[in-house]
């Protein structure tokens, strides 16, 4: 009940500061608004709309080919299946909090009979020692950039290079879960192609940082992507038409790909405001992308009530939910997009000053 109250208060706030705005029909209408209605749709994975977009993304990612998928879950399971079949080793390694491990109902195991090998402690990113210390033979290593479930943390670029080189020497394919790849480019100071050069296959999402309807790209060399198309058909991913997803992906990619620096700077600024408040910490303390986690060292119900008061008094919405971590701690995930720039610095300072005062009262 409390979570619903907080969500309703967030929706009423005139100035929400996360993401790109409401996910309503206008997201699609805006993407299609200026397009010629006579443009022919894609049909079962073929046609100018899908083929042009696939080539555009392949070029940007520095890969030979790219294939559009309706979901990242489908794309990534297929990528790992291809690498396992190629090496005839049904094992892959990834982080304990990898999306495939905790959000996909064991799809990789149940659908493909692939066994995961979990690397690293769950509260840190995979490093070179984790990979070189593998005791089991694997076909593929999956790295997620950023590692969402631990606040969007990242390995250093030099670590990525070393892991990539080691895996290639050992005949291990390296797959990038790059759902938020473009969001980490400002931190690395690299292009998408420079990061993707370290990986044999790459997945990116179009509804997270870009704010499209849905959809994903899976990129790699020609042989890999040809095989992925076969598996896409087997999975039922070749819908008769995917153009609503493709056109919205294309529209919002163009609209937001050059704003990732802006979102990154906004995330660092917001984290600094939060860390300046009594009993709040962010993970990481200084974000490395546009997303991070926020922890309140107070009971869940107290924070919900406090946030609702702050929203009502300032008109600024920080989050629509907080989840209970323990009896005296709760948290939420922050993700910065277009909306953050709609609130002035003075408004933010006023809001956080008020929040800090209220949090100090809770400590008494």
Residue 212 pLDDT > 60, yes or no? yes
Query: Could you give phi then psi for residue 359, rounded to 5 degrees?
Result: -65, -35
pLDDT for res 1:
41
- Average pLDDT over every residue of 189-211: 97
pLDDT for res 3:
55
**Which pLDDT band holds residue 363 (cuts at 50, 70, 90)?**
confident
Contact 214, 81 (CB under 8 A): no
Task: Say which CATH topology domain 2-22+259-363 has.
Answer: 3.90.1150
Cα separation, 239 vs 243, in Å, equals: 10
Q: Tell me the three state secondary structure of residue 121.
A: coil
Residue 218 pLDDT > 60, yes or no? yes
Query: Could you give phi then psi for residue 196, rounded to 5 degrees?
Result: -70, -20
Cα separation, 121 vs 113, in Å, equals: 24
Among candidates 341, 362, 298, 309, which has minimal Cα distance to 12? Answer: 309
In the chain, the percentage of residues whose pLDDT exceeds 70 is: 99
Number of H helices, E strands in the chain: 15, 13
pLDDT tens digits for range 14-32: 999 999 999 899 999 999 9
Cα separation, 326 vs 219, in Å, equals: 41
Cα separation, 288 vs 306, in Å, equals: 28
pLDDT for res 364:
67
Task: Say which CATH topology domain 42-240 has.
Answer: 3.40.640
Contact 316, 15 (CB under 8 A): yes
Q: What six digits make up the tokens of 11?
A: 């929706």
Residue 349 pLDDT > 50, yes or no? yes
The pTM score is 0.96
pLDDT for res 2:
47
Q: What six digits make up the tokens of 305?
A: 């009530």
- Average pLDDT over every residue of 2-11: 86
Strands 329-335 and 291-296, by their bridges, are antiparallel
Residue showing tokens 């969500």 = 7
Q: What six digits make up the tokens of 226?
A: 């040809």
Total length of the chain: 364
- Average pLDDT over every residue of 298-303: 97
pLDDT tens digits for range 246-294: 999 999 999 999 999 999 999 999 999 999 999 999 999 999 999 999 9
CA dihedral angle for residue 267, residue 96, residue 331, residue 320, rounded to 10 degrees:
70
Listed in order, the ranges of the chain carrying CATH 3.90.1150.10 are: 2-22+259-363
pLDDT for res 220:
98
pLDDT tens digits for range 62-117: 999 999 999 999 999 999 999 999 999 999 999 999 999 999 999 999 999 999 99
**Average pLDDT over the chain, rounded to whole?**
96
Q: Can you list the pairs that 339-342 forms with residues at least 24 positions away whose Cβ atoms lie under 8 Å?
A: 339/15, 339/16, 339/17, 339/18, 339/19, 339/20, 339/21, 340/17, 340/18, 340/263, 340/266, 340/270, 341/262, 341/266, 342/15, 342/17
Among candidates 70, 46, 115, which has minimal Cα distance to 213? Answer: 70
Q: Can you list the pairs that 275-283 forms with residues at least 24 positions away whose Cβ atoms lie under 8 Å?
A: 276/352, 276/356, 277/352, 277/355, 277/356, 277/359, 278/356, 278/359, 278/360, 278/363, 279/359, 279/362, 279/363, 280/359, 282/151, 282/334, 283/150, 283/151, 283/153
How many Cα neighbours within 13 Å face the side chain of 77? 26
Listed in order, the ranges of the chain carrying CATH 3.40.640.10 are: 42-240
């Amino acid at each position: 009940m409390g979570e619903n109250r907080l969500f309703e208060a967030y929706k009423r706030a005139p100035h929400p500061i996360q993401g790109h705005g409401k996910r309503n029909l206008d997201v699609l209408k805006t993407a299609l608004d200026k397009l010629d209605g006579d443009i022919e749709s894609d049909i079962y994975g073929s046609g100018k709309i899908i083929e042009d977009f696939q080539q555009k993304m392949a070029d940007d990612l520095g890969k030979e080919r790219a294939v559009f998928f309706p979901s990242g879950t489908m794309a990534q399971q297929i990528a790992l299946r291809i690498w396992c079949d190629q090496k005839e080793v049904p094992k892959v390694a990834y982080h304990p909090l990898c999306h495939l491990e905790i959000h996909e109902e064991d799809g990789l195991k149940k659908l493909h009979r692939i066994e995961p090998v979990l690397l690293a402690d769950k509260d840190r990113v995979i490093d070179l020692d984790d990979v070189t210390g593998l005791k089991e033979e694997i076909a593929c290593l999956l790295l997620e950039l950023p590692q969402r479930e631990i606040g969007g943390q990242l390995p250093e670029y030099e670590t990525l290079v070393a892991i990539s080189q080691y895996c290639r020497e050992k005949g291990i394919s390296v797959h990038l879960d790059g759902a938020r790849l473009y969001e980490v480019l400002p931190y690395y100071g690299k292009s998408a192609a420079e990061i993707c050069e370290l990986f044999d296959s790459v997945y990116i999402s179009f509804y997270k940082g870009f704010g499209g309807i849905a959809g994903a790209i899976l990129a790699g060399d020609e042989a890999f992507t040809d095989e992925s198309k076969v598996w896409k058909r087997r999975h039922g991913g070749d819908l008769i038409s995917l153009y609503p997803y493709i056109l919205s992906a294309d529209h919002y990619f163009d609209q937001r790909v050059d704003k990732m620096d802006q979102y990154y700077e906004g995330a660092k600024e917001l984290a600094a405001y939060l860390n300046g408040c009594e009993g709040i910490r962010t993970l990481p303390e200084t974000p490395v992308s546009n997303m991070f986690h926020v922890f309140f060292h107070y009971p869940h119900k107290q924070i919900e009530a406090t946030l609702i008061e702050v929203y009502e008094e300032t008109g600024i919405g920080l989050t629509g939910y907080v989840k209970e971590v323990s009896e005296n701690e709760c948290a939420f995930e922050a993700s910065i997009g277009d909306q953050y720039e709609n609130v002035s610095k003075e408004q933010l300072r006023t809001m956080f000053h008020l929040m800090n005062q209220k949090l100090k009262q809770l400590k008494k």
